[in-house]
Structure formats: C-alpha cells, structure tokens
Amino acid sequence: MMAIYTLKKLLWLVVALWLLVTLLFFLIYIPRPHGYAILAGDEGPLTPEQYQLLFGRPIYQQYGEWIWNAVQGDLGQSLWTGEPVTGMISERLPYTFSLMIFALVFSLALTIPIGVISARKRNTFADYGLRTFQYSFMSIPVFWIGTLIFILSWPAGSLWRRVEPVSLFSDPLTALRIYILPAIIIALSVAAIGSRLLRSSILKQKWSVTEGSERVNYVLPMISVFAAQVSLLLGATVIMEPPFYIPGLGTLLISAVNALDLPVIMGAAVFFGVVVLGVNFLVDIIRGLIDPRVRSGTAQPELISQIMDY
C-alpha cells in the first residue's frame, strides 16, 4: 500500500513540476517585441542576432530546447553578464538558505507552542490573546514590518552594509549577527499564519482518546504546517533580502526582473517551485507513513478543510 501511495505521489510531483515549468515558460518567454526591444538597443546586452535567436524563433522550439537543457542541468545564461544561471543560483543559494534556516527555527519556536496552547485552551483568555497576535501579524505585510524596523534601527543598519556576506555554513556566529533581525521579522509573520493553521488542524483531527493516537493528533498537524511554512518563508525571503543587503536568490530574482533578464527569472522561479514541490512531496510521504487514512485517501477532505479554514 505504501509503495503504491509513494508511486502516485511521485507521479503527481512530476506532473506538477512539468505544469509549473510550462506555465512559467510561456508567461515569461512569450514574445513581446515592444516590451523587450530595449534589450536589443545600442546600450542593451543583446545584438540584433541574439534578439532574433531569443524572440524570433517559434515558441515551441524555445520551449523544447529549454526543457531539454534543464534536464541536463543547464538553465541558460544571463543576458547581461553571460554567466550560467545554474552557477548564479548555486553561488547565492547559501545566503538564502541561511536566512531561511534561522527564520524557520524562530518560526517553529513560536508556531508550535502558540498553536498547541491556543488549541488546548480553546475559547479561553489565553486563546483570545494568542489569536490577537495571529490576526495582527497576519494582517500586516512582512515587508512593511521589515521596512519599519530597518528604519527605526538605522544606526545599526550600517551593520548589513559593512559586513562581508557570509553564510551559516561558513561562519555561524557572524551569520547569526547578520540574519537575526530579518529572520525574526519573517518568523513573526510566518508563525502567525502557521500557528493559526496548527490550531485549526489540531481541533479538526478525529482520533480516539488513547495515548498513541493523542500523540499523532499533534504530530500530523505539525508536519503539514511545516510544509506550509517553507512556502511562506521562500516568499518572505524574496522580499526581505534586498533591504538587508543579503545577496541571496531573492535579491537575484528582483534584480533580474528589473533588468528583464529572462533566463535568470526563469531559473530562479523554477528553483523556488522545485523546493516547494519537493518539500510537500516529502511531507506527504511522512504523513502517509504515520497515518493510514492518508494512504487510503480518506483523510484528504479533512486536510483540505484544515488548510482552508484557518
């Protein structure tokens, strides 16, 4: 049963990845001559021949070539620098992962106790207080909080401009000093949503009151919320990296959008999508190992209601 369930999930992963790549490609690469003509100007990075190669060929031909090259690990080259997109992503990946790891740790440290206490103390003073925190940070955009705190801490803001970029994997102490403020800002917003999801998921679990099932009653929602938080963290890092001078994938993606560097935009967007789909696939497998209802499909309607009704 578990082997069939895993095979189904793997098949859906491949289909979802193909749909993601196809949608992104046609949204990004459909020729718009008036919009992209500036790239072929005298001061742009493209010669007329390069412009014709990129935008003058049939779209299906470009699509097929991109898929074939991507399968071999080639995501193209930057239109401005000529660097391989794969190399640009791998170079900036440690900085993004460092911020995400710190933010994830802080987020889980807030999400789990807030969600569990709010569920166990349902409709009490403690629950109302924690729900106020949840609604407050769910309604305030993370970039607004980050900008406000960055402005208020302006004397310390030179820290991010002075320190040479480091990753958690090369210098943990310096990395903690650099990433702690943006990580906490991200964690507050993500924890507000995650703890609300966790509260609803715990309250909706249908298990008999035994010691073993009681543990599962809390473990399953935590696993599902973890997958949701990874997706939220990826989106938040894109917004929070530039203000704090973090040279990660978020900064790369925003710079590429401003420069209309299509291969970089495509490569970074696909990478983010692969991470999200991969995490959700692993979470589905873990949930299937723990809960037989997930393997049989009987828990799916309940899971959907847990995610939607937070």
The string of DSSP codes covering the chain is -HHHHHHHHHHHHHHHHHHHHHHHHHHHHS--HHHHGGGGSTTSS--HHHHHHHHSS-HHHHHHHHHHHHHTT---B-TTT--BHHHHHHHHHHHHHHHHHHHHHHHHHHHHHHHHHHHHTTTSHHHHHHHHHHHHHHHS-HHHHHHHHHHHTHHHHHHHHHSPP--TTT-HHHHHHHHHHHHHHHHHHHHHHHHHHHHHHHHH----SSHHHHHHHHHHHHHHHHHHHHHHHHHHHHHHTGGGT--SHHHHHHHHHHHT-HHHHHHHHHHHHHHHHHHHHHHHHHHHHH-HHHHHTTTHHHHHHHHH--
The tokens describing 42, both together, are 């005298």
**Confidence at 19, pLDDT banded by 50, 70, 90:** very high
CB neighbour class for 245 (10 Å; exposed up to 12, middle 13-18, buried from 19): middle
pLDDT in tens, 90-130: 999 999 888 888 988 888 888 888 888 888 888 888 888 88
Average pLDDT of the residues in 275-290: 83
From the CB of residue 231, how many other CB atoms can be counted at a distance below 10 Å?
A: 16
Q: Are 229 and 105 in contact (CB under 8 A)?
A: no
Domain ranges across the chain: 78-308
pLDDT in tens, 23-71: 888 887 765 544 455 555 544 555 666 566 666 667 778 888 888 988 8
The predicted structure's pLDDT at residue 208: 42
Percent of the chain with pLDDT over 70: 70
Average pLDDT of the residues in 151-177: 67
The tokens describing 255, both together, are 């710079």
Q: Are 167 and 87 in contact (CB under 8 A)?
A: no
119-146 b/e (C-beta count within 10 Å ≥ 16 → b)? beeeeeeebeebbebbeebeeeebbebb
The tokens describing 280, both together, are 């959700």
Tell me how far apart the alpha carbons of residues 148 and 310 are, in angstroms, rounded to a whole number.
27
On the question of pLDDT at 237 being above 60, the answer is yes
On the question of pLDDT at 210 being above 70, the answer is no
Instruction: Indicate the pTM of the whole model.
Output: 0.76
Tracing tokens 């790369």 back to the chain, one arrives at: 252
Tracing tokens 């170079």 back to the chain, one arrives at: 91
- Report how far apart, in Å, the C-alpha atoms of 83 and of each of 152, 157, 211, 310 are: 38, 31, 57, 44
On the question of pLDDT at 153 being above 70, the answer is no
CB neighbour class for 254 (10 Å; exposed up to 12, middle 13-18, buried from 19): middle
Q: Are 59 and 31 in contact (CB under 8 A)?
A: yes
Tell me how far apart the alpha carbons of residues 241 and 92 are, in angstroms, rounded to a whole number.
11
CATH code of the region 78-308:
1.10.3720.10
